[in-house]
Structure 1
Amino acid sequence: MPHTGSVNPTLDDDLRYEAVSSRDARFDGTFFFAVATTGIYCRPSCPAVTPKRHNVRFYPSAAAAQGAGFRACRRCRPDAVPGSAEWNLRADLVGRAMRLIGDGVVDREGVQGLAHRLGYSTRHLHRQLTEELGAGPAALARAQRAHTARILLQTTDLPVTETAFAAGFASVRQFNDTMREIYAQTPSALRARGTPRQEGPPGGVPLRLAHRGPYAAREVFSFLARRAIPGIEEVTGAPGARTYRRTLRLPYGTGIAEVQEPHRTARGWLACRLHLTDLRDLAAAVQRVRRLFDLDADPDAVAERLGADPALRPLVAARPGLRSPGAADADELAVRAVLGQQVTVAAATRLGARLVAAYGTPLAVPDGALTHLFPEPAALADAEFPGVPEARRRTLRTVAAALADGTVRLDPGADRDDTGRRLLALRGVGPWTAGYVRMRALGDPDVFLPDDAGARRALTALGTGPGADDAWRPWRSYALHHLWNKDS
């Protein structure tokens, strides 16, 4: 069937059923289907026998299917699908809310806290989410808690009671009732079905982070390797078998994420291991790694749009599944963007290493080459920034102060247009820096940097003039990465 793209709201039930019949994994996470005769809901690519059309019901979210009384399929694990690329693309209330829910804001601050961050009443927020997703913010967060709990049950030896609170449940009873309702099994039974995998070093929480479509791992890992700042990041191993490791500052504690570069024949997931000082941070840590590696992208929709341009078509064909890496820490990315102004990538990493050594927060226990967390903005508002020219020092202090006092907010629910304007209002922040921050820190898939030297060289070589990027909307960030990779 033709791929309409995960951001197309006009997909009707006949097309959805066609996707289910063909087990089309491109639509995993875009919608879910349930079978009235079995009481089970699945992802579109479920390998089970396709049910008859009149027994199938379609839902826009796992939470909506759960709310209708269906339990998760044990074969296809629909709760583990990649998130919809729609939430990264959309800048409206629903898109912003979904990004914040994914980051665990409801578990930490409640629905009222979520609404306050977004600037709307809880009633209006609930109505908007229910209209589009068939479930309100509490139900959507509940579905995420259940998924987190299943991971902990099946990959760790954490006692069941501790698992309940680590996953964000308010009580053991609530935890037990939810797991029985969603999975039709007790937590103990779910644990017995677990098959923990041992990719990578022992310890931590091993995960398979799903993505849809092809994934250009070599380019992503190379992009991160070139920019890795000693002390907070490292990339080990040879190309094709590398491991990216970095420290994480999380709501309840700290963590270290390890992500393995998949073999070119591997499809569908990246192996990850999270070492957390507080397991309540699992959902937030997963979301930050997913954003960093751009795992919720829709590469087929991107290729369809960019490949329609004759100039970009060869680049798109040469690197299927090229991603636009985000950031594990948005405030860190903003500081690093300014630090790297008018210097090479290598020089920027050296400056970053000096900054980390001088102002970073040491880990309680260093882990190999990982010794620090990146400095918090408040610690940099009056920093000296060794090796940086005075004009850029002033800009760095200005940006750090704006991040520390909330003048500029870079959380997943931030309004991208408003944030862009606020960044540009800061002295020393120009369009390139604001755009780069918007692309990576806020995960905006539609950013183009016309003044970027690498992009200009590639456009000249392709014989493409100014304004060509208008045809690449809403995926211009991906077009930019194709241009940067043109000669690599």
Structure 2
Amino acid sequence: MTDEDSRYEAVRSRDARFDGAFFFAVETTGIYCRPSCPAVTPKRHNVRFFATAAAAQGSGFRACRRCRPDAVPGSAEWNVRADVVGRAMRMIADGVVDREGVAGLAARLGYSGRQVQRQLTGELGAGPVALARAQRAHAARVLLQTTGLPVTRIAFASGFASVRQFNDTVRAVYAATPSELRAAAPRAGRASRRTPTPAAGIPLRLAHRGPYQAGPVFDLLEHEAVEGVEDITGRPGARTYRRTLRLPHGTAIAAVGERPGTPRTGTGAHPGGWLDARVHLTDLRDLTTAVQRLRRLFDLDADPYAVDERLGADARLAPLVAARPGLRSPGAADPDELAVRALVGRDEAARLVQRYGKRLDAPCGSLTHLFPEPGVLAGAEPDGTLGALTAALADGAVRLGPGADRDAARDALAAVPGLDARTAAAIRTRALGDPDVAPPGPALPDSWRPWRSYALNHLRAAGELEYR
């Protein structure tokens, strides 16, 4: 959707397929919205289009209170693209700018700060500082409307350097003071604030676009859950997945629900919505990072319309896509952990957790440990492929983080002694979130590109391939 007339038609038809792909602003009202906003469609000559919410905010527009454009799923483009802009957007979402500044982001990308600023501004209309600012504003709104935390704590938990900066940003983005924004919370949010926090955790809605086949995702997570780090409870259709997270400032326990009534097949799959989640953080500064890692695990920023259109045109895949529209390709909450688990399997991973994992200060039921870090494993069990892989992860020879260069990671994995091509492909698919990975074996049709990872998940869900 690069043509502005086409974008306007999407706005006129309130097409939710493009929520997050672009934003539109109305010059006569000073408000920006998502394409599916239910408000009266503005006249074409009053509309401006932006690639990001940050760009709209930087041009002086405020977020619509009706459609809440800051709450849409992230653009699927950033997960697909392997170039500098895509890598930068994934790292900004993970909180790198908040923690390390633009200099840290640039160093991770291998560019100068000026080059990163120029590329992001030229393509997206906003630089890394503005993009991170928009993300902080969204985190602030979530905390204001779902917790009873004092405003001062929310300011710093959201990543702001000062309360004044927090107040100014909230006013600029939402045309309301923090107190007014809190008072405008939906009734459910106001009710949740009566519960003491942070012990009760932060309730979240993890939005997604289009249909979402939760059943196969939860099936996979249940199949591979590692004792001590993960558990899954409940009956199919209404399960809850929980896991521990190691985060930059502390730890967390996250719980995500399958949502009662979400269909496990294509019939009646809802055309957009969210997964309910709750995150218990030891340090609130980790909220944004925790949310992004859950989004990557559940592949919530995917564009199911683009995937299904391409794969549904294939004779072999067409009935599978029709049966499961919106099938996702799950990622990883911790890429290094996923790499180790892909190599050793579930049972051996559980042994590593019990022997080398860090025990939580406050275990929660069966969740007792964090998965051991690569450096710990490399020192404890240095021999064989496991030792080689964990050493490469620990010293940075293999980089799998959200901003990793996928081509460089592919080559680095190929250089790990003893790591077979099938395991490397699994790591690329899950840890790197690569949507177009083909494991060794019979060649996959070119018509499945650039969604071969999704195509293989359709074959697995249909029982034509086994999960490893």
2:376 to 379, 387, 412: 379
2:359 is the alignment partner of 1:362: yes
Aligned to 1:234: 231
Per-residue deviation, residues 302-324 of structure 1 (Å, max 9, x unmatched): 01111111011111111111100
Structure 1 counterpart SS, 2:379: coil
Q: Distance in 1 between matches of 2:334 and 2:65?
A: 34
Deviations 1:53-107 (A, max 9, x none): 1111111100000011000000110001001110111000000000000000000
2:286 pairs with 1:272: no
1:43 aligns with 2:48: no
Name the structure 2 match of 1:7. Answer: none
Is 1:256 aligned to 2:253, yes or no?
Answer: yes
2:152 corresponds to which of 134, 152, 161: 161
Corresponding letter in the other structure for 2:434 = D
1:384 Cα deviation (Å)? 4.3
Instruction: Give the stretch that moved more between structures: 267-276 or 234-243.
Output: 267-276
Q: Deviations over 1:442-484 (max 9, x none)?
A: 1111111133xxxxxxxxxxxxxx4343211111100010111
Question: SS where residue 382 of structure 1 aligns?
Answer: helix
| 1:456 paired residue number | none
Match of 2:445 among 462, 466, 469: 469
Aligned to 2:411: 421
SS at match of 1:351: helix
Q: Is the CA contact 2:434–2:453 (under 8 Å) kept in the aligned structure 1? A: yes
Give the counterpart of 1:72 among 59, 63, 66: 63
Deviation string for 1:265-297 (max 9, x for gaps)? 654111011000000000000000000000000
SS of the residue aligned with 1:211? strand
User: 8 Å contact 2:97–2:104 — kept in the other structure?
Assistant: yes
Q: Distance in 2 between matches of 1:157 and 1:324?
A: 35
Query: Which residue type is aligned with residue 435 of structure 1?
Result: A
Cα deviation for residue 349 of structure 1 reads 1.8
Q: Which runs of 5+ in 1 are unaligned?
A: 1-9, 340-347, 386-392, 452-465
Q: In 2, distance between residues paired with 1:467 and 1:418?
A: 23
Deviation at 1:402, TM superposition (A): 0.8
Q: 1:485: Cα distance to partner?
A: 1.4
What are the residue-to-residue correspondences of 1:134-213 with 2, within 5 Å? Answer: 134-195=125-186, 196-197=188-189, 203-213=200-210
Q: Percent identity?
A: 69
Q: Equivalences for 1:59-138 in 2 at 5 Å?
A: 59-138=50-129
Letter aligned with residue 284 of structure 1: T
Instruction: Show the counterpart of 2:266.
Output: none
Match of 1:407 in 2: 397
The separation in 2 between residues aligned to 1:22 and 1:134, in whole angstroms, is 25
Mapped to 1, the partners of 2:379 and 2:117 lie a distance apart of: 42
Structure 1 equivalent of residue 311 of structure 2: 306
Does the residue aligned with 1:54 lie in a helix, a strand or coil? helix
In the alignment, does 2:334 pair up with 1:337?
A: no
Tell whether 2:427 aligns with 1:430.
no
- How far 1:193 moved relative to its partner? 1.1
- Deviations 1:411-441 (CA, angstroms, capped at 9, x unpaired): 1111001111011101011211111111100
Contact 2:340 2:386 in 1 (8 A): yes
What is the CA–CA distance in structure 2 between the aligned matches of 1:259 and 1:295, rounded to whole Å?
A: 12
Give the letter aligned to residue 119 of structure 2: Q
Contact 1:448 1:469 survives alignment (8 Å): no
SS of alignment partner, residue 426 of structure 1: coil
SS in 2 for 1:296: coil
Paired position in structure 1 for 2:265: none
Aligned residue type for 2:389 = V
For residues 172-214 of structure 1, the C-alpha deviation after alignment (integer angstroms, 9 at most, x for no partner) is 1111111000100001111111234479x98111011110000
Q: CA deviation at 1:14?
A: 0.8
Distance in 2 (alpha carbons) for counterparts of 1:300 and 1:472: 14
Partner amino acid, structure 1, of 2:334: D
Taking the aligned partners of 2:287 and 2:243, their CA distance within structure 1 comes to 15
Unpaired stretches in structure 2, ≥5 consecutive residues: 263-268
Matched-pair contact (CA < 8 Å) for 2:20–2:75: yes
TM superposition shift of 1:382: 3.1
Q: Distance between the aligned counterparts of 1:116 and 1:487, measured in 2?
A: 44
Cα distance between partner residues in 2 of 1:89 and 1:59 = 20
Counterpart CA distance in 1 for 2:364 and 2:401 is 27
State the AA in 2 paired with 1:312: L
Q: 1:483 aligns with which of 455, 459, 468?
A: 459
Distance 2:346 2:106 in 1: 38
Q: Secondary structure at the match of 1:246?
A: strand
Contact 1:449 1:480 in 2 (8 A): no
- 8 Å Cα contact 2:444-2:452 kept in structure 1: no
| CA RMSD, Structure 1 to Structure 2 (Å) | 1.5
Confirm or deny: 8 A CA contact 1:410 1:419 kept in the other structure: yes
Q: Please give the secondary structure, in 1, of the residue aligned with 2:445.
A: helix
For the Cα contact (< 8 Å) 1:242–1:261, is it kept in 2?
yes
Q: TM-score normalized by structure 2?
A: 0.94
Q: Is the 8 A contact 1:231 1:369 kept in 2?
A: yes
